[in-house]
């Protein structure tokens, strides 16, 4: 049982476990993800990615409110060139139109190139039921058609299958023994599909872009099958979502620049086709061209002030390729028709909100997808909004109500933690809880847990003597530093004292509200935010500092968003004052070093260290140089680990909710740390510290883990 919008169903848990046991899937996704990052960086060499995606997001954002107008303009210009354009409001209308065209022209055989929109409207089974033969011609799509699977990836639909499994499928299809040799498999596919192209009555394709100004469709591909589908049959049907519309022909350039680089890490694709109006058939007649523009709630999405951003998607699937969760379990678990984080959002809109209840919880909120999305879509924030709407529609679970009623009652929550520090004693050994009884045992299966401190930071500070300086800093500790790692808090205070600050600790501070906020419980998060803001502002200080990036993100960004979206604008001025003063620990220390107010302690016990970038610190606060510069200034040599900014798998309560996913993500992080040969790994996040330190203890690995405040204090 877990905290969240609702308890994850047993069936969903089983699907996760099944995917995790599929070593073929994990290996294929893992290898592709590793190769993708390197190749993608090379493909974008010499291109300013931020400028490029600014332009793409501008084009798509400007188009979203005008989808209906663009559709009508496209229709007028395409029909002027001989095409027939049908605007379908629903999947039913789209399917019925295509079937009507097929029946009127006596179509018996249909060939298709890759089209996610056709998957969205379930076109293949509809045509098959009507008595037609339908053949996919993209190699990956043909393979999954033979396997009777749905795509597991929006660009690489058959990535979940081995070459041996493909050989078995081909053996059954062609009725001859086929070896698991990739060149031979490709040769057989080419042989089998060639006659299909020649005998087909109708070709169906998708499109990557539709240009309103000219009525053109743009298709990019690598296999050439789409070009054959558009060329050989006398009837060509294009099925394209309204979000693919752009106003001007010049708009295709930035999209085509980014799409292959982000999709498959290629500089460009092998084939690039622009079709404007009817083209000649081989017998000299003009092709019967039908273009179906699919709405299916896209115009509704465009009216939504938050989710309209999702229409900036160019379907490159880069968000899937860099998602640590997707790379473990794949699209048959993490998605419906469209997969991964963006697929979760599209599922909620193109199908219905409740269809994303389970899959939205898979997002660990690491933010990696947001940084690499060429459409500049804030996928993690949109998934949080799904959680808010799900909770509003369905209501919180009993467990969620219970948990949040405790944490928003600061005194009760803190008393429970104090009591737990006493109850835990039989299970604490050498500073760790390595085993727990009964149904708690799963919490310590893959990592040891830290005990709750006998004396929290707030109690220690009652007898902690500080010099009385004129300048003050408010220290927002957060729950982990306050009750689990008070020694980190003491180090923070000592460092700031050296810089000439008296550190103020508001006893009224409580949970930052991130667990509530990230589960969709906005009102609970609001109450916690209000209490913390008031507590901080009662103390007059130059700065507010936190040594937890999640807490810092809450103070600096999330509270402002909460007050805006929950109708509590009266709190905005106060939240903005706090945000303007708030620093994460490393950023403030770097400022003080630059002001020559502070010099870090020199090396004491380690010369070589490695550094782990926590997700919130790097991706929300954009801080990653500062801690490294601080460590180097103190004389440490940093041995950079592979994937230093990859999530450790903690994700707040995510590691309790999905320990089976958190564990292999942590395993990868521990391996990358170990491969540096550093004996100390430094980080800025107490949550990451809990995860990584506990993982190394479980493995009995003699690698030290420390918060940066402990290293330089």
Instruction: Tell me the pLDDT tens digit for each residue of 119-154.
Output: 999 999 999 999 999 999 999 999 999 999 999 999
Structure tokens belonging to residue 80? 């002027």
Kindly report, residue by residue over 327-364, the tens digit of the pLDDT: 999 999 998 899 999 999 999 999 999 999 999 999 99
| Least confident range of 68-72, 210-214, 224-228, 565-569 | 565-569
Residue partners of 661: CB distance under 8 A and separation at least 6: 16, 20, 325, 328, 329, 362, 364, 649, 654
pLDDT band at residue 233 using 50, 70 and 90 as cut-offs = very high
Tokens of 625: 């140089």
Q: Give the residue among 374, 343, 312 at the shortest CA–CA distance from 152.
A: 343
Q: Which of 356, 352, 355 is nearest to 341 (CA)?
A: 356
Please state the rounded mean pLDDT for residues 613-617.
Answer: 98
Condensed to tens digits (0 to 9), the pLDDT of residues 152-197 reads: 999 999 999 999 999 999 999 999 999 999 999 999 999 999 889 9
**What are the CA-CA distances from residue 184 to residues 124, 174, 177, 188 (Å)?**
28, 13, 11, 6
Mean pLDDT to the nearest integer, 498-518: 96
Band of pLDDT at residue 1, cut at 50, 70 and 90: very low
- What pLDDT, on the 0 to 100 scale, is given for residue 7? 56
pLDDT average, residue stretch 236-262? 98
Task: Return the number of other C-beta atoms located less than 10 Å from residue 92's C-beta.
Answer: 12
224: tokens are: 């050439």
**Quick check: helix, strand or coil at residue 644?**
coil
pLDDT at 5: 39
Q: pLDDT band for 599, please (50, 70, 90 cuts).
A: confident
What separation in angstroms does the CA of 438 have from each of 1, 58, 441? 14, 54, 6
Is the pLDDT at 534 greater than 60, yes or no?
Answer: yes
How much is the pLDDT for 397?
78
Angstrom distance (rounded) from CA 362 to CA 359: 5
Q: Is 50 exceeded by the pLDDT of residue 2?
A: no
pLDDT (tens digit per residue) in 404-442: 899 999 999 999 999 999 999 999 999 999 999 887 788
Confidence of residue 3 (pLDDT cuts 50, 70, 90): very low
Instruction: Tell me the pLDDT tens digit for each residue of 379-397.
Output: 999 999 999 999 988 887 7
Q: What is the mean pLDDT of residues 44-52?
A: 97
Q: Place 4 in a pLDDT band, splitting at 50, 70 and 90.
A: very low
pLDDT > 80? residue 681 = yes
Residue 666 and residue 649 in contact, taking contact as beta carbons nearer than 8 Å: yes
Tokens matching residue 48: 């300013």
Nearest residue to 507 (alpha-carbon basis) of 530, 529, 477, 527: 477
Mean pLDDT of all residues in 320-333: 96
Q: Is 580's pLDDT higher than 60?
A: yes
**In the predicted model, what is the mean pLDDT of residues 504-530?**
95
CB 688 within 8 A of CB 704: no
Containing H/E element for 276? strand 271-276
């Amino acid at each position: 049982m877990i905290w969240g919008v609702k308890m994850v169903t047993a069936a969903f848990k089983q699907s996760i476990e099944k995917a995790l046991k599929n070593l073929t899937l994990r290996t294929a996704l893992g290898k592709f993800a590793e190769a993708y990052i390197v190749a993608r960086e090379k493909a974008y060499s010499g291109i300013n990615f931020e400028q490029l995606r600014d332009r793409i997001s501008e084009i798509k954002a400007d188009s979203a409110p005008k989808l209906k107008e663009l559709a009508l303009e496209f229709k007028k210009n395409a029909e002027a060139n001989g095409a027939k354009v049908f605007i379908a409001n629903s999947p039913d209308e789209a399917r019925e139109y295509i079937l009507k065209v097929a029946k009127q022209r006596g179509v018996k055989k249909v060939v298709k190139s890759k089209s996610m929109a056709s998957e969205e409207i379930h076109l293949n089974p509809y045509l098959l039921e009507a008595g037609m033969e339908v053949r996919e011609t993209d190699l990956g799509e043909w393979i999954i058609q033979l396997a009777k699977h749905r795509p597991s990836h929006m660009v690489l639909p058959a990535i979940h299958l081995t070459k041996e499994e493909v050989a078995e499928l081909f053996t059954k299809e062609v009725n001859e023994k086929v070896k698991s040799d990739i060149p031979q498999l490709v040769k057989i596919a080419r042989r089998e599909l060639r006659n299909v192209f020649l005998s087909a009555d109708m070709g169906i394709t998708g499109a990557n872009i539709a240009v309103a100004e000219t009525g053109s469709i743009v298709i990019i591909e690598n296999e050439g099958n789409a070009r054959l589908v558009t060329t050989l049959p006398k009837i060509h049907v294009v099925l394209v979502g309204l979000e693919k519309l752009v106003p001007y022909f010049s708009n295709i350039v930035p999209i085509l620049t980014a799409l292959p680089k982000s999709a498959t890490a290629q500089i460009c694709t092998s084939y690039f086709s622009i079709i404007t109006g009817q083209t000649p058939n081989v017998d000299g007649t003009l092709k019967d061209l039908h273009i179906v523009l699919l709405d299916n709630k896209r115009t509704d999405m465009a009216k939504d002030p938050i989710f309209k951003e999702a229409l900036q998607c160019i379907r490159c699937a880069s968000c899937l390729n860099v998602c640590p969760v997707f790379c473990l379990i794949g699209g048959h678990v993490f998605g419906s028709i469209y997969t991964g984080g963006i697929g979760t959002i599209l599922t909620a809109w193109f199908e219905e909100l409740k269809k994303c209840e389970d899959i939205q919880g898979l997002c660990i909120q690491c933010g990696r997808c947001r940084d690499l999305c060429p459409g500049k879509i804030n996928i993690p924030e949109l998934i949080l909004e799904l959680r808010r709407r799900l909770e509003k529609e369905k209501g919180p679970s009993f467990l969620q109500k219970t948990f949040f009623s405790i944490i928003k009652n600061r005194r009760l929550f803190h008393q429970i933690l104090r009591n737990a520090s006493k109850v835990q004693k039989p299970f604490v050994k050498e500073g760790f809880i390595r085993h727990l009884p009964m149904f708690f045992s799963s919490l310590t299966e893959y990592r040891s847990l830290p005990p709750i401190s006998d004396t929290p930071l707030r109690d220690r500070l009652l007898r902690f003597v500080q010099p009385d300086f004129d300048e003050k800093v408010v220290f927002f500790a957060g729950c982990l530093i306050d009750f689990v790692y008070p020694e980190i808090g003491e180090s923070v205070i000592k460092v700031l004292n050296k810089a000439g600050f008296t550190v103020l600790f508001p006893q009224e501070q409580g949970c930052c509200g991130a667990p509530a906020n990230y589960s969709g419980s906005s009102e609970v998060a609001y109450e916690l935010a209000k209490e913390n803001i008031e507590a901080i502002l009662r103390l007059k200080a130059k700065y507010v500092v936190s040594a937890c990036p999640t807490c810092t993100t809450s103070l600096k960004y999330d509270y402002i968003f909460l007050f805006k979206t929950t109708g509590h604008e009266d709190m905005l001025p106060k939240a903005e004052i706090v945000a303007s003063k708030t620093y994460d620990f490393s950023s403030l220390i770097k400022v003080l070093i630059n002001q020559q107010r502070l010099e870090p302690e020199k090396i004491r016990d380690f010369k070589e260290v490695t550094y782990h970038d926590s997700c919130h610190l790097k991706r929300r606060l954009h801080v990653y140089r500062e801690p490294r510069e601080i460590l180097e200034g103190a004389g440490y040599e940093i041995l950079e680990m592979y994937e230093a900014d990859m999530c450790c798998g903690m994700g707040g309560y995510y590691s309790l909710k999905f320990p089976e996913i958190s564990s292999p993500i942590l395993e990868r992080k521990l391996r990358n740390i170990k491969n540096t040969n550093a004996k100390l790994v430094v980080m800025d996040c107490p949550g990451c510290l809990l995860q990584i330190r506990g993982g190394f203890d479980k493995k009995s690995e003699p690698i030290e883990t420390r918060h940066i405040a402990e290293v330089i204090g």
